[in-house]
Structure 1
Amino acid sequence: MAGKHDAYLVCENGHGINSSYYSSPEFNKKFCTTCGAKTRKDCPICGNDIEGEINFENVIDLSGGITPVPDICKHCGEAFPWKSEKEEILQNLDKVNKDDIFLLETILDKFHLVAKQIRQRYSDRETLDVKDEYDTQDLLHSLLRIYFEDIRNEEWNPSYAGSSTRSDFLLKKEEIVIEVKKTRSNLKAKQIGEQLIIDIAKYRTHPNCKILYCFVYDPEGYVSNPKGIENDLNDEISEMKVKVKIVPKGH
């Protein structure tokens, strides 16, 4: 039985938006809700549609499977722009296994989608509504449990400039520290930036931190230029690498 592929709406960073562009247009978006990048359904080289979900006439798919975003255009054979970004994420960083980095990036990228999904329960049953920083920590901790075994919290760093701070999560084996923040009316872009600068300086003395992930959850859109903060604070050169990730983007 021959099927026909629909077009795949994908953002410039490779996040799949809608694998059924033509048959389910209600799910199409101009910007990615994960990273804020523009979306497109066609190859930037040859202009043909990106291959999406395959549909068979008079057949309904109940499997619930997710169609993976392709890395190569089947029409011209050229790599899509996001292929190189995926390869960069998978590169080995010092002692940290490249698969661990990929899994952590995936969890953080999908965090907002999960937070929205768990609000929708049958017959208005109770669920977790991520309202503050503690809710953010609880949900992230649960998601980390899927892939990581040794997750430690309440890890204190040595004092810095007369103060001390707590690492929200330490992945001991992977030597990754995850600092979690959630924006609010009195914690916007300026305050977030100032806090992260201080936190990064403190974490440089942490004996088990080879990579610091600063995860900022901003569902209300208090940070108007998330890419700017990320670019200013990301550090791939120093002994302790720093990765700042603000989600979602493109409110």
Structure 2
Amino acid sequence: MTVVQETQTYVCRNGHVRTDQFDPNGAPPDGRCLICGEPLLGHCIHCNARIPGKPRAPGVIVANWSLPNRCPQCGAAYPWAEHVSSSGNASNAVARIEQICQRFHLVARRLARRHANRRTIAVDDEYDVQDLLAAVLAADFDDVRDEEFSPSVAAQNSRIDFVLVGPGIAVETKMTRENLTDKKLADELLVDIRRYSEHPEARHLVCFVYDPQLRVKNPAGLVRDLEKTATRFETLRVVIAPRGI
């Protein structure tokens, strides 16, 4: 019989999670939110009930956990509920980012054809993809933060591409290249998905693979396999564009 252990979470008033599997019998984490500097909360400000965290069981991975917006004991809204609701409709924001990614190749091609052959940006590698995508996202979203530090994976600290702070959406970019097989691309994205899942601001994730030379052999299968990965994200989307199949 699997024994599920109750845990609590520590989170700031803006909804930034410091830890989602805290032992209620242990000492609370010190300091303030690492993102915005607000004090950390571990209990409801109305009834003092602990804020429930992700359930924990030996040998079991709990997927699709999300921070609650209301106290399960007294029903009062947590301080971050208003912040989340005022940040806009996340599903609409995700859909807009998907649309931008799907039309990214058209933007890159248009930039390559400037008047009188003036200098332009050539999208030759992932850094070019990041720079151009950041500029396009800035037209729709107020707070696009690039290359935030993320927790270490396999004992190595790494960076992530973008976090859209309002709707809590992270964006990871890839560009296909020679000798990057579908399997290797999938493996890289799985590592990225795991890395993003530890970021306290990311409640949704969009992975954009720019494939201008149509190198991905089975884009539909790759998208299907990655999007069914068990994660804590409320939304996980993978966009491969343009598509040859």
TM-score bracket for this pair, using the shorter chain length: 0.5 to 0.7
Alignment size in residue pairs: 159
Distance 2:89 2:232 in 1: 13
Return the match for 2:133 from 126, 140, 148: 140
How do 1:155-234 residues align onto structure 2 when only pairs under 5 Å count?
Answer: 155-234=148-227
Contact 2:145 2:164 in 1 (8 A): yes
Relative to 1, partners in 2 of residues 1:97 and 1:187: Cα closer, same or farther, differing over 3 Å?
Answer: same
- What is the one-letter code of the residue matched to 2:142? E
Relative to 1, partners in 2 of residues 1:112 and 1:181: Cα closer, same or farther, differing over 3 Å?
Answer: same
- Alpha carbon RMSD of aligned pairs, Å? 2.2
Distance 1:154 1:139 in 2: 14
Return the match for 1:242 from 231, 236, 239: 236
Relative to 1, partners in 2 of residues 1:237 and 1:198: Cα closer, same or farther, differing over 3 Å?
Answer: closer
Percent identity of paired positions between Structure 1 and Structure 2: 40
TM-score for the superposition, normalised by structure 2 = 0.60
The alignment partner of 1:178 has SS state of: strand
Q: Shift of residue 219 of structure 1? A: 0.5
- What is the one-letter code of the residue matched to 1:249? R
Q: Shift of residue 223 of structure 1? A: 0.7
TM-score for the superposition, normalised by structure 1 = 0.59
Contact 1:158 1:202 in 2 (8 A): yes
Distance 2:90 2:221 in 1: 28
User: Where does the alignment leave 5 or more consecutive residues of structure 2 unmatched?
Assistant: 1-84
- What is the one-letter code of the residue matched to 1:143? V
Q: Shift of residue 185 of structure 1? A: 0.9
Q: Shift of residue 105 of structure 1? A: 1.8
Q: Shift of residue 162 of structure 1? A: 1.3
